[in-house]
């Protein structure tokens, strides 16, 4: 299993229920590789000091969420050079047409119109390299990354056809419920860690009061019934979040909030989310103080990732005809 998150901002509850929390469940079943995708993050402008600080914070957060470094490799993507190398090689089997058709590339090109760099278009190829280096079977991600995992599959199949069996063809693993948490300010858009409106996203680092305030301000729909329905995207999103954090079904939540007004419902969602976040925050703070321990875990993760990735990379070089002794 392989997955990653970019250190491009504070993690949101969308990243948590769509991605990281599922990794924790799956680490019992799969050999996991989890990266902090710093090479991906620089495809949009990053402040160097912030990037450095966020990389460490994200590592501590992975651990605080329950990633067990004994069971999986937790590492920083740029510490393992095979990612950049395989990306280059895969570029030669990727068509410009298919890369420029990726939804995220089109969205980010619009959002960062003054910085449509080569890296932005190459983003999914680097992601394919991440995945394919570890002969990955499963890639647990939110729904927005499905198209990228499909490109990784296409590249694996194309490469295997051209040069002989080299890569395992990966599958996206998308959990229902938390796969797409929407923005609290515009439920038609996904919640994103780089949203300019700070009220649109709930961050794992938000304190209890902030969490509750953001939910109180969440955009709701007309009417007054707490019910899951297509014409009620705001309330449906809040129900989704409530269930993801409470561990109940939509029907159970609808029953619980029958006759309850929007205001009280929003308060209940806020409290439920805050209850889950508080212990994670406490653990993250402790880990950030234990600097040596964090450093040791990331070095150990990079070493494991290095060994596994070199195996695949050597095979790729050989298959493509690069001269090796």
Nearest CB to ligand LTN, comparing residues 102 and 235? 102
Q: Please, what is the minimum distance in Å from the beta carbon of residue 220 to ligand LTN?
A: 28
Residue nearer to ligand LTN on the CB measure, 136 or 236:
136
Distance CA 10, CA 152 (A): 27
**Which of 18, 170, 234, 270 is the binder for ligand ATP (CB under 6 A)?**
18
Angle at 103 between CA 99 and CA 109, to 5 degrees: 80
Within its chain, how far is the Cα of 173 from the centroid? 12
193 catalytic residue (yes or no): yes
Q: C-alpha angle 212/214/219, rounded to 5°?
A: 125
Q: Is 12 in the site for ligand ATP (CB under 6 A)?
A: yes
151 binds ligand LTN (CB under 6 A): no
One-character DSSP codes across 185-247: S-TTSB--TT-S-TTT--BTT--HHHHHHHHHT----SSS-----TT-HHHHHHHHHHHHHHT
3-state secondary structure of 58: helix
Q: 12 contacts which partner out of ligand ATP, ligand LTN, none, CB within 5 to 8 A by kind?
A: ligand ATP
- 272, interface contact from ligand ATP, ligand LTN, none, CB < 5-8 Å by kind: none
Q: How far apart are the first and last CA of the chain?
A: 32
Q: Does 3 bind ligand LTN (CB under 6 A)?
A: yes
Q: Which of 190, 214, 232, 266 is catalytic?
A: 190
Identify the residue among 125, 138, 141, 174 touching ligand LTN (CB under 6 A): 141
CA atoms within 13 A on the CB side of 22: 24
Site for ligand LTN in 18-47 (CB under 6 A): 37, 40
145 is a site residue for ligand LTN (CB under 6 A): yes
Binding site for ligand LTN (CB under 6 A): 2-6, 37, 40, 127, 130-131, 139, 141, 145
Question: Which of the residues are catalytic?
Answer: 108, 190, 193
């Amino acid at each position: 299993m392989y997955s990653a998150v970019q250190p491009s901002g504070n993690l949101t509850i969308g990243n948590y229920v769509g991605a990281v929390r599922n990794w924790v469940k799956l680490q019992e079943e799969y050999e996991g590789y989890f990266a902090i995708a710093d090479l991906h993050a620089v495809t949009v402008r990053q402040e160097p000091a912030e990037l450095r600080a966020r990389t460490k914070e994200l590592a501590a957060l992975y651990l605080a969420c329950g990633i067990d470094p004994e069971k999986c490799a937790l590492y920083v993507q740029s510490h393992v050079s095979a990612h950049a190398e395989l990306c280059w090689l895969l570029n030669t089997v990727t068509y410009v047409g298919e890369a420029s058709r990726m939804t995220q590339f089109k969205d980010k090109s619009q959002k960062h119109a003054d910085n449509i760099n080569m890296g932005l278009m190459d983003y999914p190829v680097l992601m394919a390299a991440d995945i394919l280096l570890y002969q990955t079977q499963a890639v647990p991600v939110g729904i927005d990354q499905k198209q990228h995992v499909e490109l990784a599959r296409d590249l694996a199949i194309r490469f295997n056809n051209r040069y002989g069996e080299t890569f395992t063809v990966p599958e996206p693993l998308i959990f229902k419920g938390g796969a797409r948490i929407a923005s609290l300010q515009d439920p038609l858009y996904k919640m994103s860690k780089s949203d300019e409106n700070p009220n649109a996203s709930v961050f794992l680092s938000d304190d209890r009061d902030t969490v509750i305030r953001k939910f109180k301000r969440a955009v709701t729909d007309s009417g007054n019934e707490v019910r899951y329905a297509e014409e009620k995207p705001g309330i449906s999103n809040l129900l989704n979040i409530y269930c993801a954090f409470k561990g109940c079904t939509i029907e159970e939540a609808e029953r619980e909030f029958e006759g309850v007004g929007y205001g009280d419902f929003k308060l209940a969602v806020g409290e439920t989310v805050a209850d889950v976040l508080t212990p994670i925050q406490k653990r993250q703070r402790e880990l950030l103080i234990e600097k040596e321990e964090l450093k040791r875990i990331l070095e150990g993760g990079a070493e494991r990732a290095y060994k596994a990735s070199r195996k695949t990379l050597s095979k790729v070089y050989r298959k493509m005809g690069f001269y090796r002794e």
